[in-house]
Amino acid sequence: MKLQNKSGPALLGERPPLVRHEGRALAGEIERGAVLFVDTRSRGALADGMVPGALNVPAGSSFVTWASWVVDPEGDDRPIVVLAKDEAEAKLLRDRLSYVGIDRVEGYVTDLEGLEKEPVPTVSPEELDEMEDPFVLDVRAKGEHEAGYIPGAIQLHGGRVMWHLDDLPGDKPIVIHCQTGARAAVVASALRAAGFGPVLELEGSYEGWAARKQRVPA
């Protein structure tokens, strides 16, 4: 956004109508990496799994902020397809993304029928204690981390992770958390889409870990 603020945003003019896709036809394009699919469901709605390679950016009040963390408007020129309940919501999401320079939304799907899904990889606080040398990534703000943290966790704000991939290990599991899990789910989906793995989300995130520590003193 600094570059756009300096030079001025591009004029979009008349925008083409959005294309409604069917899941089965879209599946091949996602698998080939020809499109960027944004799953707008909340973290709690992902119990039935996620489409491999998709980004999870919930369509709530933080939608634009979190999208700007994981979508590079200059380094990735793939068309974007969003999950929306209808065309009106898809247009609204497209407009909101344009506020942060993400102008490539070309279509939408209204459900995930025909798209392969995989379980979201998670790890419980108990299982984390048993893991051998995991890389624990705390994507909260610095102040949140300083107020309480998992021993050994590396703090890197969620908005900076995708621009510091060289600082992440490629040879060990990454366990990612925030305060309650929503931000971690966004960043974790982006890391998986970027080829990192395994990327595990900490069940209950930091709050879940802290609650267990209160129940089970060291």
> For 139-181, what is each residue's pLDDT tens digit?
999 999 999 999 999 999 999 999 999 999 988 999 999 999 9
Tell me the per-residue pLDDT of 99-148, one tens digit each, with 9 for 90 and over: 899 999 999 999 999 999 999 999 999 999 999 999 999 999 999 999 99
Flag whether pLDDT at 75 surpasses 90.
no
Q: Do 2-109 and 122-215 fold alike per CATH?
A: yes
Average pLDDT score over the chain = 92
Fold (topology level) of 122-215:
Oxidized Rhodanese; domain 1 (3.40.250)
Q: Is 176 helix (H, G, I), strand (E, B) or coil?
A: strand
pTM of the full structure: 0.91
Class of domain 2-109: alpha beta
DSSP secondary structure letters along 65-108: HHHHHH--TTT----EEEE-SSHHHHHHHHHHHHTTT---EEEE
Q: Where are the domains of the chain?
A: 2-109, 122-215
| Tokens read off for 59 | 């369509």
The percent of residues in the chain predicted with pLDDT above 90, rounded, is 81
The C-alpha atoms of residue 80 and residue 64 are separated, in whole angstroms, by 14
